[in-house]
A and B are shown apart, each in its own frame.
Chain A
């Protein structure tokens, strides 16, 4: 995966968020403050504008990701800004100066993204957050995924794990974020952050 492909993935992510904007906001209306889709879409539209400005001088993959991270932190306006922003910043740091991404790089990037999100939000698996989607995907890549022969099939299988993780947020009670204020009323709803996290991972897998 080269610089051009990384740029295309970010654009596909923005499109996935745009298409699912209302769905994510609906999920957030049930157990949060009803702004997840709107916020994420605002962030990723701002990312598109920033990336357009970068295209004249093709940067390394690390620069693309840190641009995405900083833009999300600045423009999202909700907790998903610092959380996803930190994820992209950490992932970008792993591939600083690189113009190609291998399977090992991709694994290291997602590990770093997970570490960033956990550091920022303090969540663990089972708290009903984006970590529930991301951590199983990273665990797969760290384990059996390392032996996959192609980046594409490794990421597809990781996205499938993220989907299971996302589904696992439905029957549990939220421990982090606004949804935790609802206590048992948060049970029975998917976590919007876990859903957006799965959508982003699925988009990466589909675009590679």
Chain B
């Protein structure tokens, strides 16, 4: 089953997005939240992101959803520092974090492939709200 990593500048956003996604996807999908800096401020903890990516980039793969600037860059750096054969197991989804997390988690819970989970996350862009 594809795992999901949520990276936000805020731990509340990352934790909250995980809770919303887990409510729909059930307990089988591994969803990890990485929010805020190591000392609890708004920002990113690239070491923690790197450890999470290293821990989750195996099996069916990992889809990452990140919010802004340093979150995205930390994700990219973590993927680049993986051994080459594991890099293809990770996709940084081009999607908004909350909606993307929910759609990706549901898709992952159905046992879909890495590419399908990424596609589901991206479909958040076509969600109509008004």
For A77, list chain B residues within 8 Å (CB): 37-38, 41, 43-45, 70
A120→B73 contact, CB < 8 A: yes
Within 8 A of B (CB), among A160-197: 177-178
Chain A 49-89 per-residue mask, 1 if CB under 8 angstroms from chain B, else 0? 00000000000000000000000011001110111001000
A82→B77 contact, CB < 8 A: yes
With both beta carbons as reference points, the residue of chain A lying nearest to B47 in the complex is identified as A74
For A39, list chain B residues within 8 Å (CB): 43
> Of the candidates B41, B43, B46, B69, which one forms a contact with A73 in the assembled complex, judged by CB atoms under 8 Å apart?
B46
Looking at chain A, what size class is its interface with the partner chain? 10 to 19
A121-B68 contact given A74-B47, A77-B43, CB 8 Å threshold: no
> Of the candidates B38, B43, B47, B76, which one forms a contact with A120 in the assembled complex, judged by CB atoms under 8 Å apart?
B76
A177-B43 contact given A73-B77, A86-B77, CB 8 Å threshold: no
B74→A82 contact, CB < 8 A: yes
A83 to B73, CA, bound (A): 8
CB distance from B108 to the nearest CB of A (A): 27
B44→A121 contact, CB < 8 A: no
**Count of B interface residues, CB-CB < 8 Å:** 16
Chain A 106-122 per-residue mask, 1 if CB under 8 angstroms from chain B, else 0? 00000000000000110
For B77, list chain A residues within 8 Å (CB): 73, 82, 86, 120
A121→B46 contact, CB < 8 A: no
CB distance from B109 to the nearest CB of A (A): 32
A79-B46 contact given A73-B77, A86-B77, A120-B76, CB 8 Å threshold: no
Q: Does A35 contact B (CB under 8 A)?
A: yes
A81-B76 contact given A177-B69, A178-B68, CB 8 Å threshold: no
For A78, list chain B residues within 8 Å (CB): 43-44, 69-70
B47→A79 contact, CB < 8 A: no
A82→B73 contact, CB < 8 A: yes
A120 to B70, CA, bound (A): 10
CB distance from B52 to the nearest CB of A (A): 14
A81→B68 contact, CB < 8 A: no
Counting from the closest, the 10 A-B pairs by CB-CB distance are A77-B43, A82-B73, A79-B69, A77-B37, A79-B70, A74-B47, A78-B70, A73-B46, A78-B43, A82-B77
21 pairs across A/B with beta carbons < 8 Å? A33-B42, A35-B42, A39-B43, A73-B46, A73-B77, A77-B37, A77-B44, A78-B70, A79-B69, A79-B70, A81-B44, A81-B46, A81-B70, A82-B46, A82-B73, A82-B74, A83-B73, A86-B77, A121-B73, A178-B68, A178-B69
10 further A-B pairs in the complex, CB-CB below 8 A; given A82-B70, A82-B77, A83-B73: A35-B42, A74-B46, A74-B47, A77-B38, A78-B43, A79-B69, A81-B44, A81-B46, A82-B73, A86-B77
A interface residues (Cβ-Cβ under 8 A, vs B):
33, 35, 39, 73-74, 77-79, 81-83, 86, 120-121, 177-178
B interface residues (Cβ-Cβ under 8 A, vs A):
37-38, 41-47, 68-70, 73-74, 76-77
